[in-house]
């Protein structure tokens, strides 16, 4: 990720490199999955870190609010993050 620009970089949780962290800006969608993601504490403003991905690169482990949450990359793609 380029850091030479002043503006904060917008990306999705899915696209974060391993070990990188960011602040959630939005969770897209309005399905049951969206709701469950929010209820697990991933809401705008919260700090998330991508810890690792599983052997076949999916799912991923995300650290949020001091605990670890595993999710599929397809689910993480709906979570927008600012670096």
Partner 1 sequence: MANSAAHSLTIALAGNPNAGKTTLFNALTGLKQKVANYPGVTVERKTGRWQLNGNAADLIDLPGLYSLDATSLDEQIARSVITGEQKGVKRPDVVVAVVDATNLERNLYVVTQLFDFKIPVVVALTMIDVFEKLDHQINVEKLAHMLKTPVVAINAKTGRGIKELAQEVRKASELSESKAPVFDDADETSGPHAKIFARYSFIAKAVQESTRHNDTPKLRISHKIDKVLTHKFFGLLILVAVLLVVFQAIFSWATVPMDLLEQGFGGLSALVKENMPPGILTDLISDGIIAGVGGVVVFLPQILLLFLFISLLEDTGYMARAAFLMDKLMSKVGLHGKAFLPLVSSFACAIPGIMATRTIENRRDRFATIMVAPFMSCSARLPVYTLMIAAFFAGQTVFGFISVAAVLMLAMYTLGIVVAVIVAFILKRTVLKAPPPPFLMELPDYRLPNLRTVLQNMLTRAWLFLKRAGTVILAISILLWALMYFPRDIAPTQSAATETGQTVAPNGEPAPAEDVVKESEQLKHSFAGKLGHTIEPVIEPLGFDWKIGVALIASFAAREVLVSTLSIIYNVGKDADAESTTLVSAIRDAKRDDGRPVWTPLTALTLMVFFVLAMQCMSTLAVVRRETNSWLWPLFMFGYMTVIAYAAAFLTYQGGRLLGYG
Distance CA 1, CA 9 (A): 8
Q: Assess 83 for contact with partner 1 (CB under 8 A).
A: no
Q: Assess 51 for contact with partner 1 (CB under 8 A).
A: yes
Chain center to CA of 41: 12
From the list 1, 9, 35, 47, which residue makes contact with partner 1 (rule: CB under 8 A)? 35
From the list 43, 77, 82, 83, which residue makes contact with partner 1 (rule: CB under 8 A)? 43
Distance CA 43, CA 49 (A): 14
Q: Assess 78 for contact with partner 1 (CB under 8 A).
A: no
């Amino acid at each position: 990720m380029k850091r030479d620009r002043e503006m904060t970089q917008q990306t999705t949780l899915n696209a974060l490199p391993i070990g990188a962290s960011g602040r959630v800006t939005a969770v897209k969608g309005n399905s049951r999955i969206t709701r469950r993601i929010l209820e697990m504490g991933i809401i705008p403003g919260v700090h998330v870190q991508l810890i690792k991905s599983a052997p076949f690169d999916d799912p991923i482990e995300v650290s949020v609010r001091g605990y670890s949450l595993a999710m599929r990359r397809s689910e993480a793609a709906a979570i927008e993050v600012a670096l």
